[in-house]
Structure 1
Protein backbone atom coordinates (compact mmCIF):
# COMPACT_ATOMS: atom_id res chain seq x y z
CA UNK A 1 0.00 0.00 0.00
CA UNK A 2 1.56 3.28 -1.08
CA UNK A 3 1.34 6.52 0.86
CA UNK A 4 -1.47 7.96 -1.27
CA UNK A 5 -3.60 4.84 -0.87
CA UNK A 6 -2.95 4.76 2.87
CA UNK A 7 -3.94 8.41 3.14
CA UNK A 8 -7.17 7.74 1.24
CA UNK A 9 -8.02 4.79 3.51
CA UNK A 10 -7.29 6.86 6.63
CA UNK A 11 -9.50 9.67 5.36
CA UNK A 12 -12.33 7.24 4.62
CA UNK A 13 -12.08 5.71 8.10
CA UNK A 14 -12.05 9.18 9.65
CA UNK A 15 -15.24 10.05 7.79
CA UNK A 16 -16.93 6.80 8.75
CA UNK A 17 -16.20 7.03 12.47
CA UNK A 18 -18.74 9.82 13.24
CA UNK A 19 -21.37 8.00 11.17
CA UNK A 20 -20.74 4.77 13.04
CA UNK A 21 -20.83 6.58 16.38
CA UNK A 22 -24.10 8.25 15.42
CA UNK A 23 -25.60 4.90 14.41
CA UNK A 24 -24.53 3.36 17.72
CA UNK A 25 -26.01 6.34 19.57
CA UNK A 26 -29.28 5.94 17.66
CA UNK A 27 -29.42 2.23 18.49
CA UNK A 28 -28.83 2.97 22.16
CA UNK A 29 -31.55 5.62 22.28
CA UNK A 30 -34.11 3.38 20.57
CA UNK A 31 -33.26 0.46 22.86
CA UNK A 32 -33.57 2.71 25.93
CA UNK A 33 -36.90 4.00 24.65
CA UNK A 34 -38.19 0.46 24.14
CA UNK A 35 -37.10 -0.52 27.65
CA UNK A 36 -38.75 2.56 29.15
CA UNK A 37 -42.03 1.83 27.34
CA UNK A 38 -42.02 -1.81 28.41
CA UNK A 39 -41.32 -0.91 32.05
CA UNK A 40 -44.11 1.67 32.18
CA UNK A 41 -46.62 -0.66 30.52
CA UNK A 42 -45.76 -3.39 33.02
CA UNK A 43 -46.15 -0.99 35.95
CA UNK A 44 -49.52 0.30 34.70
CA UNK A 45 -50.97 -3.20 34.96
CA UNK A 46 -51.08 -2.63 38.72
CA UNK A 47 -53.21 0.51 38.45
CA UNK A 48 -56.78 1.54 37.67
CA UNK A 49 -57.70 4.98 36.38
CA UNK A 50 -60.52 7.09 34.96
CA UNK A 51 -60.60 7.79 31.23
CA UNK A 52 -62.60 10.78 29.97
CA UNK A 53 -63.32 11.03 26.24
CA UNK A 54 -64.58 14.35 24.87
CA UNK A 55 -65.79 14.71 21.28
CA UNK A 56 -65.92 18.21 19.79
CA UNK A 57 -67.50 18.96 16.41
CA UNK A 58 -67.41 22.41 14.78
CA UNK A 59 -66.01 23.78 18.05
CA UNK A 60 -68.96 22.47 20.10
CA UNK A 61 -68.74 19.63 22.62
CA UNK A 62 -71.01 16.87 21.36
CA UNK A 63 -70.29 14.04 23.77
CA UNK A 64 -68.42 13.29 26.97
CA UNK A 65 -68.08 9.82 28.43
CA UNK A 66 -66.10 8.35 31.28
CA UNK A 67 -64.94 4.85 32.06
CA UNK A 68 -62.97 3.11 34.78
CA UNK A 69 -59.98 1.41 33.17
CA UNK A 70 -57.65 -1.36 34.28
CA UNK A 71 -55.80 -4.29 32.78
CA UNK A 72 -57.45 -7.70 32.86
CA UNK A 73 -55.67 -10.99 33.66
CA UNK A 74 -55.07 -11.55 29.94
CA UNK A 75 -53.30 -8.20 29.57
CA UNK A 76 -56.10 -6.43 27.70
CA UNK A 77 -57.64 -3.16 28.84
CA UNK A 78 -60.97 -3.51 30.63
CA UNK A 79 -63.32 -0.50 30.60
CA UNK A 80 -66.40 -0.06 32.78
CA UNK A 81 -68.61 2.90 31.72
CA UNK A 82 -69.12 5.48 34.46
CA UNK A 83 -71.05 8.36 32.87
CA UNK A 84 -71.96 9.91 29.54
CA UNK A 85 -73.71 13.06 28.35
CA UNK A 86 -77.40 12.46 27.51
CA UNK A 87 -78.21 12.28 23.82
CA UNK A 88 -80.40 15.04 22.42
CA UNK A 89 -83.74 14.00 20.94
CA UNK A 90 -83.49 13.98 17.15
CA UNK A 91 -86.14 15.96 15.19
CA UNK A 92 -88.67 14.04 13.12
CA UNK A 93 -89.38 13.93 9.40
CA UNK A 94 -86.85 14.52 6.62
CA UNK A 95 -84.73 16.79 8.80
CA UNK A 96 -84.58 14.09 11.42
CA UNK A 97 -83.39 11.50 8.89
CA UNK A 98 -80.68 13.88 7.64
CA UNK A 99 -79.54 14.56 11.21
CA UNK A 100 -79.54 10.83 11.99
CA UNK A 101 -77.50 10.00 8.88
CA UNK A 102 -74.99 12.75 9.67
CA UNK A 103 -74.74 11.56 13.26
CA UNK A 104 -74.17 7.98 12.13
CA UNK A 105 -71.46 9.13 9.71
CA UNK A 106 -69.68 11.13 12.40
CA UNK A 107 -70.06 8.30 14.91
CA UNK A 108 -68.38 5.88 12.49
CA UNK A 109 -65.61 8.39 11.83
CA UNK A 110 -65.14 9.04 15.54
CA UNK A 111 -64.91 5.31 16.30
CA UNK A 112 -62.34 4.93 13.53
CA UNK A 113 -60.42 7.92 14.91
CA UNK A 114 -60.36 6.49 18.43
CA UNK A 115 -59.18 3.14 17.02
CA UNK A 116 -56.44 5.02 15.14
CA UNK A 117 -55.23 6.55 18.41
CA UNK A 118 -54.78 3.06 19.86
CA UNK A 119 -52.47 2.05 17.01
CA UNK A 120 -50.02 4.79 18.02
CA UNK A 121 -50.51 5.22 21.78
CA UNK A 122 -48.80 3.67 23.57
CA UNK A 123 -46.09 2.98 20.96
CA UNK A 124 -45.36 -0.71 20.38
CA UNK A 125 -41.66 -1.55 20.95
CA UNK A 126 -41.68 -4.12 18.10
CA UNK A 127 -42.91 -1.50 15.62
CA UNK A 128 -40.25 0.95 16.79
CA UNK A 129 -37.64 -1.75 16.27
CA UNK A 130 -38.95 -2.43 12.74
CA UNK A 131 -38.60 1.22 11.73
CA UNK A 132 -35.10 1.31 13.24
CA UNK A 133 -34.14 -1.86 11.39
CA UNK A 134 -35.25 -0.21 8.15
CA UNK A 135 -32.82 2.64 8.87
CA UNK A 136 -35.54 5.30 8.92
CA UNK A 137 -35.17 6.69 12.45
CA UNK A 138 -33.68 10.15 12.91
CA UNK A 139 -33.17 12.45 15.89
CA UNK A 140 -33.99 16.16 16.12
CA UNK A 141 -33.41 18.55 19.01
CA UNK A 142 -36.52 20.74 19.52
CA UNK A 143 -36.07 24.29 20.90
CA UNK A 144 -37.98 23.47 24.08
CA UNK A 145 -35.45 20.85 25.16
CA UNK A 146 -35.28 17.08 24.99
CA UNK A 147 -34.51 14.86 22.03
CA UNK A 148 -37.14 13.82 19.49
CA UNK A 149 -36.90 10.44 17.80
CA UNK A 150 -38.85 10.32 14.53
CA UNK A 151 -40.27 7.01 13.30
CA UNK A 152 -41.62 7.59 9.75
CA UNK A 153 -43.82 4.83 8.36
CA UNK A 154 -44.55 3.53 11.87
CA UNK A 155 -48.12 2.45 11.04
CA UNK A 156 -48.91 3.73 7.53
CA UNK A 157 -46.93 4.93 4.52
CA UNK A 158 -46.28 8.64 4.87
CA UNK A 159 -47.05 8.91 8.59
CA UNK A 160 -44.63 9.90 11.35
CA UNK A 161 -44.48 9.05 15.04
CA UNK A 162 -42.33 11.55 16.94
CA UNK A 163 -41.38 10.72 20.52
CA UNK A 164 -39.67 13.38 22.63
CA UNK A 165 -37.58 12.06 25.52
CA UNK A 166 -35.48 13.50 28.31
CA UNK A 167 -31.90 12.67 27.19
CA UNK A 168 -30.73 12.30 30.79
CA UNK A 169 -33.41 9.82 31.95
CA UNK A 170 -34.96 8.55 28.67
CA UNK A 171 -38.36 9.40 30.15
CA UNK A 172 -40.94 10.15 27.47
CA UNK A 173 -42.01 13.80 27.57
CA UNK A 174 -44.50 13.81 24.71
CA UNK A 175 -45.64 12.17 21.49
CA UNK A 176 -46.78 13.77 18.24
CA UNK A 177 -48.20 11.90 15.28
CA UNK A 178 -48.92 13.00 11.73
CA UNK A 179 -51.16 10.45 10.03
CA UNK A 180 -54.53 9.94 8.30
CA UNK A 181 -57.50 7.58 8.34
CA UNK A 182 -58.27 6.57 4.75
CA UNK A 183 -57.21 9.53 2.62
CA UNK A 184 -53.66 10.92 2.92
CA UNK A 185 -54.98 14.27 1.64
CA UNK A 186 -57.06 14.57 4.83
CA UNK A 187 -54.42 14.59 7.58
CA UNK A 188 -55.05 13.70 11.18
CA UNK A 189 -52.75 14.76 14.01
CA UNK A 190 -52.24 13.38 17.50
CA UNK A 191 -50.69 15.34 20.35
CA UNK A 192 -49.89 13.39 23.51
CA UNK A 193 -48.92 14.82 26.87
CA UNK A 194 -47.27 12.42 29.29
CA UNK A 195 -47.55 12.33 33.06
CA UNK A 196 -45.56 10.64 35.80
CA UNK A 197 -46.90 8.84 38.85
CA UNK A 198 -45.31 8.99 42.29
CA UNK A 199 -43.39 5.75 41.69
CA UNK A 200 -41.92 7.12 38.47
CA UNK A 201 -44.27 5.28 36.11
CA UNK A 202 -44.89 7.22 32.91
CA UNK A 203 -48.46 7.29 31.62
CA UNK A 204 -50.48 8.93 28.86
CA UNK A 205 -52.12 11.93 30.49
CA UNK A 206 -53.90 13.54 27.53
CA UNK A 207 -54.27 12.56 23.89
CA UNK A 208 -55.83 15.03 21.46
CA UNK A 209 -56.79 13.96 17.95
CA UNK A 210 -57.59 16.67 15.41
CA UNK A 211 -59.22 15.95 12.05
CA UNK A 212 -59.51 19.39 10.37
CA UNK A 213 -61.24 18.01 7.26
CA UNK A 214 -64.11 16.83 9.47
CA UNK A 215 -63.99 19.73 11.97
CA UNK A 216 -63.63 17.00 14.57
CA UNK A 217 -61.54 16.81 17.72
CA UNK A 218 -61.34 13.91 20.19
CA UNK A 219 -59.58 14.31 23.53
CA UNK A 220 -58.86 11.35 25.81
CA UNK A 221 -57.71 12.29 29.32
CA UNK A 222 -56.51 9.78 31.94
CA UNK A 223 -56.52 10.69 35.63
CA UNK A 224 -57.22 9.43 39.18
CA UNK A 225 -54.68 6.61 39.08
CA UNK A 226 -55.12 4.17 41.97
CA UNK A 227 -52.78 1.31 42.90
CA UNK A 228 -54.56 -2.05 42.83
CA UNK A 229 -54.22 -4.32 45.83
Structure 2
Protein backbone atom coordinates (compact mmCIF):
# COMPACT_ATOMS: atom_id res chain seq x y z
CA UNK A 1 0.00 0.00 0.00
CA UNK A 2 2.84 2.34 0.93
CA UNK A 3 4.64 1.54 -2.34
CA UNK A 4 1.47 2.26 -4.29
CA UNK A 5 0.99 5.57 -2.48
CA UNK A 6 4.62 6.50 -3.15
CA UNK A 7 4.26 5.69 -6.83
CA UNK A 8 1.09 7.75 -7.08
CA UNK A 9 2.83 10.65 -5.33
CA UNK A 10 5.80 10.44 -7.70
CA UNK A 11 3.49 10.36 -10.72
CA UNK A 12 1.60 13.34 -9.34
CA UNK A 13 4.85 15.30 -8.78
CA UNK A 14 6.08 14.38 -12.26
CA UNK A 15 2.81 15.62 -13.70
CA UNK A 16 3.16 18.93 -11.87
CA UNK A 17 6.78 19.30 -13.01
CA UNK A 18 5.79 18.55 -16.60
CA UNK A 19 3.00 21.13 -16.48
CA UNK A 20 5.38 23.75 -15.06
CA UNK A 21 7.91 22.97 -17.79
CA UNK A 22 5.26 23.28 -20.50
CA UNK A 23 4.10 26.57 -18.97
CA UNK A 24 7.71 27.85 -18.97
CA UNK A 25 8.15 26.90 -22.62
CA UNK A 26 4.90 28.58 -23.64
CA UNK A 27 5.59 31.76 -21.66
CA UNK A 28 9.18 32.09 -22.86
CA UNK A 29 8.30 31.40 -26.50
CA UNK A 30 5.66 34.13 -26.26
CA UNK A 31 8.21 36.55 -24.76
CA UNK A 32 10.82 35.76 -27.40
CA UNK A 33 8.30 36.30 -30.20
CA UNK A 34 7.15 39.59 -28.67
CA UNK A 35 10.69 40.93 -28.31
CA UNK A 36 11.63 39.96 -31.86
CA UNK A 37 8.44 41.44 -33.34
CA UNK A 38 8.58 44.69 -31.34
CA UNK A 39 12.27 45.22 -32.03
CA UNK A 40 11.88 44.60 -35.77
CA UNK A 41 9.30 47.39 -35.88
CA UNK A 42 11.38 49.76 -33.72
CA UNK A 43 14.57 49.21 -35.72
CA UNK A 44 12.88 50.77 -38.75
CA UNK A 45 13.33 54.12 -37.01
CA UNK A 46 17.11 53.73 -36.88
CA UNK A 47 20.16 53.63 -39.07
CA UNK A 48 23.42 52.01 -38.03
CA UNK A 49 26.78 50.64 -39.14
CA UNK A 50 27.39 46.94 -39.80
CA UNK A 51 31.04 45.91 -39.61
CA UNK A 52 32.10 42.49 -40.94
CA UNK A 53 35.63 41.33 -40.11
CA UNK A 54 37.14 38.11 -41.46
CA UNK A 55 40.10 36.38 -39.82
CA UNK A 56 42.11 33.51 -41.29
CA UNK A 57 44.50 31.60 -39.02
CA UNK A 58 44.05 34.36 -36.46
CA UNK A 59 45.09 37.12 -38.86
CA UNK A 60 42.66 39.79 -40.02
CA UNK A 61 42.14 39.42 -43.77
CA UNK A 62 39.36 41.88 -44.48
CA UNK A 63 37.07 44.44 -42.93
CA UNK A 64 33.94 45.89 -44.51
CA UNK A 65 31.48 48.44 -43.21
CA UNK A 66 27.96 49.11 -44.43
CA UNK A 67 25.41 51.73 -43.46
CA UNK A 68 22.06 50.06 -42.75
CA UNK A 69 18.57 51.54 -42.77
CA UNK A 70 15.03 50.61 -43.74
CA UNK A 71 13.37 51.96 -46.87
CA UNK A 72 9.80 53.24 -46.82
CA UNK A 73 8.53 49.86 -48.05
CA UNK A 74 10.24 48.09 -45.14
CA UNK A 75 13.19 46.73 -47.14
CA UNK A 76 16.51 46.67 -45.27
CA UNK A 77 19.07 48.66 -47.28
CA UNK A 78 22.83 48.22 -46.82
CA UNK A 79 25.23 50.64 -48.49
CA UNK A 80 29.01 50.28 -48.39
CA UNK A 81 30.60 53.20 -46.56
CA UNK A 82 33.91 52.95 -48.39
CA UNK A 83 35.67 51.79 -45.23
CA UNK A 84 37.18 48.46 -46.18
CA UNK A 85 40.56 46.79 -45.95
CA UNK A 86 42.07 43.71 -47.52
CA UNK A 87 45.53 42.23 -47.11
CA UNK A 88 47.82 42.26 -50.14
CA UNK A 89 49.35 39.05 -51.41
CA UNK A 90 52.88 38.41 -52.66
CA UNK A 91 53.68 38.14 -56.37
CA UNK A 92 55.16 35.24 -58.33
CA UNK A 93 54.07 31.61 -58.38
CA UNK A 94 53.68 31.50 -54.62
CA UNK A 95 51.57 34.62 -54.80
CA UNK A 96 49.30 33.04 -57.42
CA UNK A 97 48.85 29.93 -55.27
CA UNK A 98 48.02 32.09 -52.28
CA UNK A 99 45.66 34.17 -54.40
CA UNK A 100 43.84 31.02 -55.57
CA UNK A 101 43.40 29.81 -52.00
CA UNK A 102 42.31 33.29 -51.03
CA UNK A 103 39.58 33.25 -53.71
CA UNK A 104 38.34 29.86 -52.51
CA UNK A 105 38.28 31.06 -48.92
CA UNK A 106 36.60 34.29 -49.99
CA UNK A 107 33.82 32.30 -51.66
CA UNK A 108 33.40 30.20 -48.51
CA UNK A 109 33.37 33.33 -46.34
CA UNK A 110 30.70 34.97 -48.52
CA UNK A 111 28.61 31.82 -48.36
CA UNK A 112 29.05 31.74 -44.59
CA UNK A 113 28.05 35.39 -44.10
CA UNK A 114 24.97 34.83 -46.29
CA UNK A 115 24.06 31.75 -44.22
CA UNK A 116 24.42 33.65 -40.95
CA UNK A 117 22.02 36.33 -42.14
CA UNK A 118 19.27 33.78 -42.81
CA UNK A 119 19.04 33.43 -39.03
CA UNK A 120 19.13 37.15 -38.22
CA UNK A 121 16.81 38.27 -36.92
CA UNK A 122 15.07 35.02 -35.94
CA UNK A 123 11.61 34.66 -37.46
CA UNK A 124 8.79 34.62 -34.85
CA UNK A 125 6.57 32.58 -37.20
CA UNK A 126 9.17 29.84 -37.62
CA UNK A 127 9.65 29.76 -33.86
CA UNK A 128 5.89 29.40 -33.38
CA UNK A 129 5.66 26.53 -35.87
CA UNK A 130 8.45 24.61 -34.16
CA UNK A 131 6.77 25.17 -30.79
CA UNK A 132 3.38 24.03 -32.11
CA UNK A 133 5.03 20.87 -33.46
CA UNK A 134 6.21 20.07 -29.93
CA UNK A 135 9.90 20.21 -30.84
CA UNK A 136 10.96 23.09 -28.58
CA UNK A 137 13.29 22.15 -25.71
CA UNK A 138 13.94 24.22 -22.60
CA UNK A 139 16.97 24.39 -20.32
CA UNK A 140 16.94 26.21 -16.98
CA UNK A 141 20.00 28.47 -16.70
CA UNK A 142 18.84 30.14 -13.47
CA UNK A 143 15.65 28.98 -11.70
CA UNK A 144 12.62 31.18 -12.44
CA UNK A 145 14.85 33.73 -14.17
CA UNK A 146 16.99 32.63 -17.10
CA UNK A 147 16.09 29.98 -19.67
CA UNK A 148 17.51 28.65 -22.91
CA UNK A 149 15.07 27.43 -25.55
CA UNK A 150 16.15 25.32 -28.51
CA UNK A 151 14.33 25.23 -31.85
CA UNK A 152 15.52 22.22 -33.93
CA UNK A 153 15.36 22.25 -37.74
CA UNK A 154 14.83 26.02 -37.69
CA UNK A 155 16.03 26.62 -41.26
CA UNK A 156 16.92 23.13 -42.45
CA UNK A 157 17.03 19.55 -41.14
CA UNK A 158 19.70 19.08 -38.51
CA UNK A 159 20.29 22.69 -37.57
CA UNK A 160 19.39 24.19 -34.20
CA UNK A 161 18.60 27.76 -33.17
CA UNK A 162 18.85 28.35 -29.41
CA UNK A 163 17.76 31.54 -27.67
CA UNK A 164 18.57 32.48 -24.07
CA UNK A 165 16.16 34.79 -22.30
CA UNK A 166 16.02 36.62 -18.98
CA UNK A 167 12.40 36.17 -18.01
CA UNK A 168 12.62 38.59 -15.07
CA UNK A 169 13.79 41.42 -17.35
CA UNK A 170 11.78 40.19 -20.36
CA UNK A 171 14.91 40.44 -22.48
CA UNK A 172 16.69 38.20 -24.97
CA UNK A 173 20.25 37.65 -23.76
CA UNK A 174 21.85 35.77 -26.60
CA UNK A 175 21.35 33.19 -29.32
CA UNK A 176 23.42 30.49 -30.94
CA UNK A 177 23.09 28.47 -34.11
CA UNK A 178 24.49 25.07 -35.04
CA UNK A 179 24.36 24.51 -38.79
CA UNK A 180 26.47 23.58 -41.83
CA UNK A 181 27.83 25.64 -44.70
CA UNK A 182 28.96 23.47 -47.61
CA UNK A 183 28.91 20.01 -46.03
CA UNK A 184 25.95 18.72 -43.96
CA UNK A 185 28.35 16.47 -42.03
CA UNK A 186 30.53 19.36 -40.86
CA UNK A 187 28.83 21.56 -38.31
CA UNK A 188 29.74 25.14 -37.51
CA UNK A 189 28.39 27.28 -34.71
CA UNK A 190 27.91 30.99 -34.36
CA UNK A 191 27.01 32.95 -31.25
CA UNK A 192 24.93 36.12 -31.15
CA UNK A 193 25.05 38.65 -28.31
CA UNK A 194 22.04 40.94 -27.91
CA UNK A 195 22.07 44.54 -26.65
CA UNK A 196 19.42 47.17 -25.95
CA UNK A 197 18.94 50.67 -27.29
CA UNK A 198 17.72 53.39 -24.88
CA UNK A 199 14.09 52.86 -25.91
CA UNK A 200 14.33 49.13 -25.15
CA UNK A 201 14.77 47.99 -28.75
CA UNK A 202 16.84 44.81 -28.87
CA UNK A 203 19.33 44.04 -31.62
CA UNK A 204 22.07 41.56 -32.48
CA UNK A 205 25.11 43.55 -31.36
CA UNK A 206 27.76 40.97 -32.16
CA UNK A 207 27.81 37.69 -34.06
CA UNK A 208 30.86 35.44 -34.00
CA UNK A 209 31.33 32.34 -36.14
CA UNK A 210 34.26 29.95 -35.79
CA UNK A 211 34.99 27.37 -38.47
CA UNK A 212 38.02 25.51 -37.01
CA UNK A 213 38.46 23.19 -39.99
CA UNK A 214 38.82 26.23 -42.23
CA UNK A 215 40.86 28.24 -39.69
CA UNK A 216 38.21 30.89 -40.29
CA UNK A 217 36.56 33.35 -37.93
CA UNK A 218 33.91 35.88 -38.90
CA UNK A 219 32.73 38.71 -36.66
CA UNK A 220 29.71 40.85 -37.53
CA UNK A 221 29.04 43.88 -35.31
CA UNK A 222 26.21 46.42 -35.39
CA UNK A 223 26.91 49.80 -33.81
CA UNK A 224 26.49 53.58 -34.12
CA UNK A 225 22.71 53.52 -33.92
CA UNK A 226 20.93 56.83 -34.45
CA UNK A 227 17.51 57.98 -35.53
CA UNK A 228 17.07 57.56 -39.26
CA UNK A 229 16.80 60.74 -41.32
CA UNK A 230 13.25 61.97 -41.50
CA UNK A 231 12.01 59.66 -38.74
Query: Structure 1-normalised TM-score?
Result: 0.87
For 1:176 and 1:53, the matched residues in 2 are separated by: 18
State the partner residue of 1:194: 194
CA gap of 1:73–1:160, structure 2 versus 1, over 3 A, is same
For 2:14 and 2:63, the matched residues in 1 are separated by: 57
State the partner residue of 2:80: 81
What is the RMSD of the two structures over their aligned residues, measured on CA atoms? 2.4
Whether the 8 Å CA contact 2:63–2:86 is kept in 1: the answer is no
Deviations 1:178-221 (A, max 9, x none): 21113233221111111111111111110001111101011011
State the partner residue of 2:29: 30
For 2:222 and 2:188, the matched residues in 1 are separated by: 21
Whether the 8 Å CA contact 1:187–1:212 is kept in 2: the answer is no
Q: Which runs of 4+ in 1 moved over 6 A?
A: 8-14
Name the SS for the 2:141 alignment partner: coil
CA gap of 1:213–1:49, structure 2 versus 1, over 3 A, is same
For 1:104 and 1:206, the matched residues in 2 are separated by: 26
CA gap of 1:11–1:107, structure 2 versus 1, over 3 A, is closer
Deviating more after overlay: 110-119 vs 99-108: 99-108
User: Structure 1: any 5+ residue segments left out of the alignment?
Assistant: 1-7
Deviations 1:9-43 (A, max 9, x none): 99978754543443233222212211110000110
Whether the 8 Å CA contact 1:179–1:187 is kept in 2: the answer is yes
Aligned residues: 221
For 1:125 and 1:108, the matched residues in 2 are separated by: 30
